Structure 1
Amino acid sequence: MMIEVAEPRDFPAILRMNREWEHFLSPLDETRLSWLHEMAAYHRVIRHHDQAVAFLLAFAPNCAYDSSNYRWFDRRYDDFVYIDRVVVSDAVQGQGAGRLLYQDLMDWARAKGWHRVCCEFDLEPPNERSRHFHESFGFEQQAVQSDPNTGKKVGLQQCRLTG
């Protein structure tokens, strides 16, 4: 498995993976993905046999991203990278792809001089797999936010980077 910068040729696989996990993510179409890709600070895929099988999309402070969860962090911090979504396809679940992407993102963020990585995961309905995964990296809950449109409740998370 190799990590590479995401390219438009990866969009069909990214959209397919996003649909597989849409119950935990917001919907995504090609137009919105193109827009997010253009403003992303970090957008990487893992390739396996030249096919994108996982991706991570993250944003830096002060961008035009309209997510209320991203905005929560952007109002409070000027030193962060926000993970909007990470998806690992069923084909490579449990093989360390998510961990590999997170470690790469954290190394990249440190090299940029940022001191925190932020994200959210579902509390209601609960996403226990995500909670355990994030706790293993040292993420801590900063706040809880509800989406009036979906009824979902998310835990806004932060991991302080050192070294």
Structure 2
Amino acid sequence: MLRLNADNRPVVATVEASDFPWLLAGEGHHFVAVDTTGRVLGYLFAVPRTSNYDDKEIAELRRLIAEPFYYICQVALAREHRGRGIRRTFYATLAEAARRHGARLLCCDVNVEPPNPESLAFHRRLGFRQIGAGVASNGFAVAYLVCDV
């Protein structure tokens, strides 16, 4: 997953192995797509509003949204596997899990500088709408997006 993260920079934030304790502690949801050889094709990490996960982006979303939500911390997909429905499956599976846990919204942030038009278009197709903008912890300008589950 770390290699896939590196391959998707700068449109995704850098993730290091030390960033995973919250994930290993069972907070939130993670989904990984692998091929028949075990090669990671993509992943999605998400945490609920009530998670101990704390970064500038989720703090801003907590300020903007009072109701229960799941924050998509990061999603990455190998370029050669885009357009095959993997991301859409991740999001549908997360939405189902979020509903089971009482959340009403999925939230994320998408880079606007440096631009990530592919991600913005993908999220809009899924029904995400912008509720704010800011500067992420990595210094990138981001749009904060939400979608009803």
TM over 0.5: yes
Match of 1:9 in 2: none
Distance 1:25 1:39, change over 3 A: farther
Q: Which runs of 5+ in 2 are unaligned?
A: none
Higher RCO (CA < 8 A, seq sep 6+): 2
Distance 1:33 1:118, change over 3 A: same
Figure out how many residues of one structure are paired with residues of the other and give that number.
Answer: 147
User: Could you tell me whether the CA contact under 8 Å between 1:59 and 1:81 is conserved in 2?
Assistant: yes
Deviation digits for residues 38-76 of structure 1, max 9, x if unmatched? Answer: 353101101211332110000112222222111112233
CA distance in 2, matches of 1:103, 1:79: 17
Q: 1:106: Cα distance to partner?
A: 0.9
- After TM superposition, the score normalised by the length of structure 2 is 0.89
Q: What's the Cα RMSD here?
A: 1.8
Distance 1:149 1:82, change over 3 A: closer
The reply to whether residue 41 of structure 1 matches residue 42 of structure 2 is: no
Which of 23, 31, 37 lines up with 2:10 in the alignment?
A: 23
Q: After superposition, where does 1:70-89 map in structure 2 within 5 Å?
A: 70-75=58-63, 76-89=65-78
Match of 1:146 in 2: 135
The reply to whether residue 59 of structure 1 matches residue 55 of structure 2 is: no
Q: Which runs of 5+ in 1 are unaligned?
A: 1-13
User: Could you tell me whether the CA contact under 8 Å between 2:22 and 2:53 is conserved in 1?
Assistant: no
User: Could you tell me whether the CA contact under 8 Å between 1:15 and 1:30 is conserved in 2?
Assistant: yes
Kindly report structure 1 stretches of 4+ aligned residues shifted beyond 6 Å: none
Tell me which amino acid in the other structure corresponds to 1:121. Answer: V
Q: Percent identity?
A: 27
Tell me which amino acid in the other structure corresponds to 1:126. Answer: P
SS at match of 1:118: strand
